[in-house]
Structure 1
């Protein structure tokens, strides 16, 4: 996949940089000087204009964090930044407070020289003191994530998702930035998902552990993975393993790996949604294309799974709940509430819904019929994948609040507001 040339928008002015501050009307005459003199702290969000990244960026702003978004626009659009700012400013206007700062850097996170330049601009250098970064944490979303695409183009996934991660970690280490939240996936559980009613973090670990099972017995687990079915899932497992090894070698790092289940819905404002450049193969975008006439039908991949109605079962989590899970994780890390320097967390609801149940819920909210076609199972799929979210609730103080119904209603609201996405009814 080709990417646009780097276009940095970090609030700094130089021949290689272009400013795109959160409040253009009040842009300072010398943005570079303002950054050097500004002692505010920031969170760096790679891939921050994508579906999960944009909603997390919004929730970070709403929680009071200043953010720097890095995105190469390979699968997102620049105007998402304006939508994030609009939604954030509406929130702060409502409560009568100023909105935190947000900066956009249009670049590939794998451009190490460009990223080095960006990080240098957010480094405080004072006489007789060790340089200190104003970036206190990184949330890393910039990864390819389509299962079928990963099977067809594995090297693309390993280069971006694994090699890119290694280079980024080395760069962050050079700048003393060692608080890192990694966008992982339930795909690391592989075929364990089919034989396990609800997956827990101990089902996939990076060091030998023992834990107490629900029946009170002790379970011993060796590090490794079981039956990961596609290169995308392996790239996420490799990423976790690399991060675990980094923390073992240098415990000054704090790394939290968040294993997502199935994000759906959109922000209730209707300003943000899932709008990738590529046709996403996951259920909600595919259902929307069928619902709005952009595609003739929704393909249901298999109705012979060992589930209640034969269609695959997934743990569908509202995107706002997922985004707030990142904020809770960041807060826990900064407050020192994390056990050890490396920790994994499931972000899911703990409840599974079948593909057919999701289709029915969308039809009920929209009062429209979604044309479907039953086809064979896809390579790399599993029949059921549901989280045990107890660890996140106990250690992060986070749990989901929104339902499948909420997700469908918020999605329909987004489609009604964003008329450009509605092609026909």
Structure 2
């Protein structure tokens, strides 16, 4: 069996070997290195070193802790990663131009395996390898960008992964600007902000995760033997990169299952390889299905994935069994499946710390008016559509259903300010670092139901203008009422909402008047 010490030492010396082989004449290299390594004195130095190590390991050890066979074969790089090392937007730097995506969902300039391995092997992790980061996947989207901003404001170093399929490169610049302003006002150092334009489902994710990891010698708790395993600078991952349109999911279910479910499974496998087991999942209130129509605040125990015991205020214990009722669309099912997968993973491996945050209806934007919700495609959520009406891009707002059993006939939703949602993620990260391991769910909502017409009136008041409406039939996949119980989040996370629907409307109008009307 190949000694673990050799594997660790090989990994540590690999950059020096590459440098020596690339700079010394072949005949001299053979004097200093093992003859088999002289083969590496080509343009494929790093590739051959990786393959050499791969052959050693595959022939000498069966340790699953160090399965570099898969690692070598799975590497891939995006165009963004190839044309630049990590994009560091810490204080004093500025964003670089990012080429626009084509209509193709995967716009990657994929190199050959040899060129790829040469690139990835000679690129080292930044700084001294001791800095910790939070990785935000989908970090330039609506909720992702606000969460990235809040993380920076709280002093976290952040790695943003986004393929810009539903976001824009200018968002990164705006996040950096707002974070830098916050740090200047509060006289604190600007955390590191790094951006990688890759699709989280691509093989480039492996290269990125490897870049922020190192091999260390540890003792296996079960066998007591020394093993080599990865230690990552990534302290936690927040996953936003899911498709989210109810209507589109009905029209294109396979696209949703491929990204939201299959992509999640692949991501978890990669994180597990690098011993990254602190995970925050972007879930949805749609997982409650038809239970929402009961008209009662939805509790986390209304949907569980394994049998749990709950206790009421009187101290009475109730056993709750896993159930599923009336999921109304493929999007809701992808979120349900995602939660179920995560619950099973945490059940099988107690080292995982996983939180699923069930969003209700995030609206509003940062009070600066610089960040907002501006999807690339056709918006389907209420407030982005209202934005288009205010800009004159739509003649009117279609209100889906005026015959729901509510106070004005329109559907009731639990609108929550997007900054409250962002703060909920930070609360979940903090809670994850303190609590025991396992899988947990929390509602992120205001706990207050607002009808669609009431939400429209609040925006009319903020804008000082009337919004034209059209009452139309109900939309497939919708429910009449969906309101959160936030007791668990308040008690366990110490999190509560700060902003009202009025503040949401005011911040949205500020964004529209400052940014959107000029576009």
Q: Same fold (TM over 0.5)?
A: yes
**Counterpart residue number, 1:247:** 346
1:22 equivalenced with 2:22 (yes/no): no
* Larger CA deviation: 297-306 vs 16-25: 16-25
1:6 equivalenced with 2:96 (yes/no): no
1:109-124 map, 5 Å: 109-111=200-202, 113-124=203-214
CA distance in 1, matches of 2:249, 2:232: 35
Report if aligned partners of 1:306, 1:383 keep a CA contact under 8 Å in 2. yes
Q: Greater relative contact order (Cα 8 A, min sep 6): structure 1 or 2?
A: 1
CA distance in 1, matches of 2:311, 2:294: 19
1:219-230 map, 5 Å: 219-230=318-329
Compared with structure 1, are the counterparts of its residues 185 and 372 closer, same or farther at alpha carbon in structure 2 (3 Å cutoff)?
same
Q: CA deviation at 1:233?
A: 0.3
Q: CA deviation at 1:131?
A: 3.3
Q: Which runs of 5+ in 1 are unaligned?
A: 10-14
CA distance in 2, matches of 1:118, 1:33: 11
- 1:152-199 per-residue CA deviation (whole Å, 9 max, x = no partner) reads 000000000000000000000000000000000000000000014100
Q: Which runs of 5+ in 2 are unaligned?
A: 1-76, 95-121, 219-227
Compared with structure 1, are the counterparts of its residues 18 and 79 closer, same or farther at alpha carbon in structure 2 (3 Å cutoff)?
farther
Report if aligned partners of 1:47, 1:70 keep a CA contact under 8 Å in 2. yes
1:264 equivalenced with 2:336 (yes/no): no
1:43 equivalenced with 2:134 (yes/no): yes
Query: Would you tell me which structure has more helix in proportion to its own residues?
Result: 2
Compared with structure 1, are the counterparts of its residues 216 and 229 closer, same or farther at alpha carbon in structure 2 (3 Å cutoff)?
farther
TM-score normalised by length of structure 2: 0.75
1:233 equivalenced with 2:325 (yes/no): no
* Larger CA deviation: 219-228 vs 236-245: 219-228
Report if aligned partners of 1:361, 1:405 keep a CA contact under 8 Å in 2. yes
* Larger CA deviation: 77-86 vs 408-417: 408-417
2:293 to 182, 194, 197: 194
**Counterpart residue number, 2:493:** 396
CA distance in 2, matches of 1:221, 1:390: 18
CA distance in 1, matches of 2:150, 2:425: 9
1:383 equivalenced with 2:469 (yes/no): no
Please report the RMSD computed on the Cα atoms of aligned residues, expressed in angstroms.
2.0
Q: CA deviation at 1:19?
A: 3.9
**Counterpart residue number, 1:337:** 435
Report if aligned partners of 2:91, 2:180 keep a CA contact under 8 Å in 1. no
**Counterpart residue number, 1:363:** 460
**Counterpart residue number, 1:12:** none
User: Secondary structure of 1:164's partner?
Assistant: helix
TM-score normalised by length of structure 1: 0.91
**Counterpart residue number, 1:410:** 507
CA distance in 1, matches of 2:162, 2:251: 24
1:63 equivalenced with 2:154 (yes/no): yes
Number of residue equivalences: 407
Between Structure 1 and Structure 2, whose CA radius of gyration is higher? 2
- 1:333-367 per-residue CA deviation (whole Å, 9 max, x = no partner) reads 11x235x5100000001101000000000000100
* Larger CA deviation: 382-391 vs 212-221: 212-221
Q: CA deviation at 1:224?
A: 2.9
